[in-house]
Structure 1
Amino acid sequence: MSPARTPRHDDRRRTFPALPPRPEPDDDFAATWWGNAWVESMEDTALDPARLQRGRAYADRGRVDAITVTPGRVVAYVHGSRPRPYRTEIRLRTLVEDDWEDLLDAAAARPDHIAALLDKEMPHSLAAADLLPAAGDLTPDCSCPDDGYPCKHAAALCYQTARLLDEDPFVLFLIRGRGESAVLADLTRRNAARSAAERPPEPPPMPSVEARTALAPRVLPALPPPFPAPARPGRPPVYPQAPGAPDPMALDLLATEAASRAHTFLTTGLDPVGALTPWQDAVRLAAAHPGSGLTASTRALYRDLAGALDRTPTDLARAVAAWRQGGLAGLAVLEEPWDPPAGPFDRARPALTAADFPGFRPWRNRLSAPTLQLRFGRDGVWYGYESDRDREDWWPRGAPDTDPVGALTALLGR
């Protein structure tokens, strides 16, 4: 009986962590021409501009969870006005074999095309070959009751996908049916075949040099300056699933973390993680875990991290929600009540009452209603919390804001 073979990695499924809110929204949602072309393919066929605007606002505020991309599909959970997020997807036709042959032949024929792809740029002529969607090619679907085309949740997912395409145009190849490794392997094979066909004749042998000449003392030139630091951390290798081996997701998380810290230390000489306590670092690691929902890998990660620090997985999940809401400052707001000085905190209740949000009770740095709560951080920012009525089980929700009315509006999804 032959030994079991280690399964090969399939890069036809990629999950990207939730993107943060955009700090300064502008007219063009995407940063690249191909990202904006993706957005235009949806906007050109949308039936309701108001839904598009709300979807864009959702994307601007970071209300789209981790995005999973597979051939023909882009899927994510989108937070709407209700506590439970909606499962949203966008479908796009995958290319047939003949289309891929034409596309890859065109790319291999131009060395500058291959160089552009390796630099995470999309050549215009290559994208025009049925790679980018045309108007009407994107088909949205959502678990929400809205039958708009698209609904605001699908529009938000489409806008966030454009930001993924900005960073990595190979995501578009994956949506059309092939992963990055397969595309690069095919381009390498075609380029090698083309180079072999165009290879010039072998040059004549190099002239020889006598040993006494080669070993004669000489002054060596100065070493060249070191290479500049890369623009971004390197991507870790892919770890296969194998019996008895460590969890691939845990290995990927640790490798990505090490690469990011090393890059920061190389470029700045500082370690932003070194000053964190073990609990804060565990929360940060769990918050960086890709994926959405309580998956098996998420439960295992939360169990191991929480158990190592004598906390419960629920404690860690709540802390992760606070970290994703406001980073280290958000975690401090969750865990450290304090007495703010006179000033913005005292003006918050009249401002809420004027905005038709009366009935908030103050306690230290918190304003509480039966199911809603605002917490004032030491950074001068208001953070929203929610709880079931009469439970006092507060969870971070919504986007923080320097204005208590804005924070409450984001919490209510208005």
Structure 2
Amino acid sequence: MSDEWWRDDTPSGPIPVEGGVRARSQRGDIARTWWSRRFIEALELLGLGGRLERGKRYARAGQVMSMSLSTSIVVAQVQGSRPEPYRVRISVKAFTSDQWFEVEKALAGQALFLAKLLAGEMPQDIERVFGEVGLRLFPDSFQELSMDCSCPDWEVPCKHLAATCYLLAESFDSDPFEILAWRGRSRQELLDNLRGLREDHAEPTDNAEPLGDLLDSFWGAQVTLPTSMPVRGRPDAILDRLPPLRLTVAGRPVVDWLRPAYQTMANEEDT
């Protein structure tokens, strides 16, 4: 028997990929915005934090060949050490239409939230809005989140899943609406629903005449403006605004000598 039977022919590292999805961050933390960091934090709270780190090298090396997100599911292909790429799936529980309606009603009551969303930002307190209707935006249990990979590694997440999680967080950085789309509400549908709810609750103007009906009479009305005479103050009043002067002339404050001069100058302007 050959003494080489124990040799492992599996390559020691992953097969390099050309044109893969590469993480923008090449050192330190991958997630930049609060909402993408919150997603990573949610995974860590599920006890996945220690195993997530294994995927950073894959994410930064571009080993993820493709990744797509749709309602409730993210699918990806990740190139490992074997010739055939591994199939990765990350699923989250989508909210029902009724649940989204309650969320949208709560969001529509906050003008700042709508302004932030229109600007492409995730409002800082949006998790509180979901919480008020009994929901959580970010998964907090394995009843809401599931992961699987076609690789032989039994740990979850394996490095292929972990790499996909990091790239998913970066995609949330670029477009926070992807988090909401993952939960079942697209950007356009959400914004249209919020606008509609705000219009439904807008206060109508009572007894307001159309502007066009007022144009014909606008220039015809003649209004006599009241006339008023200019109010003239004392010419020496400015002296009272000066700080107290300790200078005296012939035993009298110098201000007393200046007052007649101001009065004389004002009389000359009137003539």
Same fold (TM over 0.5): yes
- Corresponding residue for 1:185? 192
How far apart, CA to CA, are the structure 1 residues paired with 2:173 and 2:48? Answer: 26
- Corresponding residue for 2:234? none
Instruction: State yes or no: 1:78 paired with 2:78.
Output: yes
1:154 maps to a residue whose letter is L
- Corresponding residue for 1:200? 205
Q: How far is the alpha carbon of 1:87 from its aligned partner?
A: 0.8
Instruction: State yes or no: 1:174 paired with 2:181.
Output: yes
How far apart, CA to CA, are the structure 1 residues paired with 2:122 and 2:186? Answer: 15
Contact 1:35 1:166 in 2 (8 A): yes
- Corresponding residue for 2:34? 33
Unaligned runs of 5+ in 1: 1-16, 211-414
1:134 maps to a residue whose letter is D
Select which of 10, 19, 22 maps to 1:20: 22
Contact 1:18 1:67 in 2 (8 A): no
Instruction: State yes or no: 1:134 paired with 2:140.
Output: yes
- The higher-RCO structure (CA 8 Å, 6+ apart) is 2
- Corresponding residue for 1:110? 110
1:157 maps to a residue whose letter is T
4+ residue runs over 6 A deviation: none
How far apart, CA to CA, are the structure 2 residues paired with 1:157 and 1:107? Answer: 30
CA separation of 1:149/1:192 partners in 2, compared to 1, >3 Å: closer, same or farther? same
Q: How far is the alpha carbon of 1:113 from its aligned partner?
A: 0.8
Instruction: State yes or no: 1:120 paired with 2:120.
Output: yes
1:10-409 to 2 correspondences below 5 Å: 19-26=21-28, 28-46=29-47, 49=50, 51-128=51-128, 129=130, 130-136=136-142, 137-195=144-202, 198-201=203-206, 202=208, 205=211, 206-208=214-216
Contact 2:22 2:64 in 1 (8 A): no
2:23 maps to a residue whose letter is P
How far apart, CA to CA, are the structure 2 residues paired with 1:48 and 1:115? Answer: 34
How far apart, CA to CA, are the structure 1 residues paired with 2:66 and 2:21? Answer: 8
TM (norm. structure 2) is 0.63
Q: How far is the alpha carbon of 1:122 from its aligned partner?
A: 0.9
- Corresponding residue for 2:232? none
CA separation of 1:168/1:47 partners in 2, compared to 1, >3 Å: closer, same or farther? closer
How many residues align? The count is 190
CA separation of 1:134/1:83 partners in 2, compared to 1, >3 Å: closer, same or farther? same
Contact 1:64 1:157 in 2 (8 A): yes
2:62 aligns to what SS in structure 1?
coil
CA separation of 1:61/1:71 partners in 2, compared to 1, >3 Å: closer, same or farther? same
Which protein has the larger Cα radius of gyration, Structure 1 or Structure 2?
2
Instruction: Indicate the larger mover: 28-37 or 122-131.
Output: 122-131
| 1:246-305 Cα distance to aligned partner (Å, 9 max, x none) | xxxxxxxxxxxxxxxxxxxxxxxxxxxxxxxxxxxxxxxxxxxxxxxxxxxxxxxxxxxx
2:46 aligns to what SS in structure 1?
coil
Output the aligned Cα RMSD.
2.3
